[in-house]
Structure 1
Amino acid sequence: MLRRMVDPEVHERITARRAELDELEEQLVKQLSEVQAERDEPAVAARVWQRMSEQLADERATAGSPVVQVANRAVRLVPDRVSGVAESALPTD
């Protein structure tokens, strides 16, 4: 009943505008999806970086000289060097 009351030209304009809006909606949905994906990338990269940093720290901590038992005590065969300790602080033998 509405079609009979609306001028054919007005109906055509309404139909054309709806088509334009539908196309714009599709573009915006696509753009929003791309923005969300890009926004998530730095968070993923930060988590990977954190995990790798922790793994490297663990590897470095366990990569020191071997530990052996001497007089029922755990000692390193060669003490690890740390910053601030002079080479002369190590035993000469």
Structure 2
Amino acid sequence: MQVAGRSVLKVPHRSEVVDAAALPADYQRMLEIVKAGGGPVMVKAVGAELGIDASVPGRLEPLRGKLSKLADRGWLHKLPNGIFTTRL
């Protein structure tokens, strides 16, 4: 995404902003769902909470990508088995 001719990340790195309010609304909701899980959360559980039909093959892949983006930018932690948790 570009603002005033400069590239701006849609999902900023956690170290660059203090509050999750800087995230787009859909990413804020995903972050809230993982936090409410109280422990490691599978993509399927986040999808169910968002109303995504997990029985359709490939339906969860865009969600997995968004959760991975949150993990890459420091908002979540992705475990080796693909489960997500909040950062401490």
* Common topology (TM > 0.5): no
Higher helix share: 1
Look at both structures and tell me which one has the larger radius of gyration over its CA atoms: 1
Higher relative contact order (CA 8 A, sep 6+): 2
TM score, norm. by length of structure 2: 0.21
